[in-house]
Structure 1
Amino acid sequence: MDRFAKTTSSPPAPPVSSTGMSIITRDGKYLTVHMQEEGKTQYEWFIVVTPAGDALPIGSENTVNLSWELSEESYTGTFQLIKQKIETEDFVDDDILVEDMSKTKSISITGDDRKQYFKIVCQLNVDPVDPEEPDCEFQLDLEAGWNLISLPLIPENNIAKYIIPGVQTIYQYVDGGYKEISNTDPLESGIGYWVLVSSDTTVNIQGQCFNHYSKELKQGWYLLGCIESSASPGTNVANSIEVMYQYIDGSYEIVTECKPGYGFWINMLEDATLTFQKAHQE
């Protein structure tokens, strides 16, 4: 081996398994005050139903009715009821039982004394894109299998299943590990995602142009996304970056700039603020 050869770190391997965590309030008390996190547009509530309860003989089946009424005074948005199942100790979405809970007001649930799991997903209506902002379109070409992508614009609807219909699995890299994203979760511009599709797919995305962003990063690996045009993090942070990788045609390539529609790995040698900006932007 050449004693002057330089070794470069490799990015984390593509995802092969999933983990998950749910946070549930301990006291279970009713909330009588409207509480909403600033800037957040999606909320989830988890429900556990045991149709037979503990009053009937073991193994007996029973049918219960789950009903609801959405308050007109509540915030506007879409509500879905999703059946969940447990796979390898993780909760995953099984089936959408109610597409629009404002139209369907109840369902019947049949079962024994085993628990059944459900999730209510609320997607808040957000303000429309400023008409003065330029609109952008992008064609995202996906190959059958794993693709490392990002959104080079801000979609009109950022829910995963509406951006990539038929997507099978989505992963995000968070705090040094992979986190599985549901197809009912939003996708963010500026973030890289692994997506799995069963066949070659082309999707057309429309939304607000995404021509710059900045992120404060610490030492370590990050999976980021590109803006609407090819861009590099700039020479002022060059010494803070060890390497950037892009995943193309089933393998990694070392790059010095990101490309729209692709996600990319970046390994930071030290804390720094990265800025990606469209060239010649005033």
Structure 2
Amino acid sequence: MTSESDSLLLVDNLDGVTTLTLNNPAGRNSLSMAMLQALHDQLVGLADDAATRVVVLAASGKVFCAGHDLKEVQGQLGSTPFMLSLFELCSKVMQQIVNLPKPVIARVDGVATAAGCQLVASCDLAVAGETARFATPGVNIGLFCSTPMVALSRNVSPKHAMEMLLTGEMISAARAEQIGLVNRVVADSELDNAVAQLAGTIAGKSGHTLKIGKQAFYRQLEMPLHEAYAFTSQVMATNLEAEDAEEGICAFLAKRPAKWQDR
């Protein structure tokens, strides 16, 4: 089933995988207020959408996302309320991705810069075409990429994050894979197949289990080691009370495919 929630954002669902496609190639798929609002609205709906097991973020054209719309920003220079609302909405969308009870995969074809790089870093997984490139170039125009820094610094080591932030230089897809910004790099011609295979593999798991695991992953990251083990021990004990855990164990021992109920 395919639909269009907004001309800026295309929505497609197939076999449990919902693809959100940034659809403003003429504007380099920038995160304007309108684009951010469209993403926000879709993510709200997807949180409880039983037909969606995995979300893919993609983009039309040769640029994945060039960050904020600088023309829009220029037109509002001096308006602190607008700037705060812009960055607050952007931050809210990034947190929606992290908090979404479904895995989110970035399909990166082309350039991802500034808040566009932040968007990639906010996703749970990322697959990039070999010609994709990444940067946090705010320093080049006198605007340090402070909000993109939050997601970036939680995905790569501090020194790699600082190098990107302080130089503003573009890095290749291969380098992005080396430092952990993306999971894998494939030939541009194989990007769709690689993303579909990864999304399909994940979509075949218990939705209930994926929700539990994703939530626990991000919560334990911020905990001291002993608290993380105490927390995840409780998570696993509770997880074992779920119908899907019982089904999965029985299916494994019986050497048959599991039939998930997502509960």
Q: TM-score, normalised by structure 2?
A: 0.24
Higher relative contact order (CA 8 A, sep 6+): 1
Look at both structures and tell me which one has the larger radius of gyration over its CA atoms: 1
Give the structure with the higher percent strand.
1
- TM-score, normalised relative to structure 1: 0.23
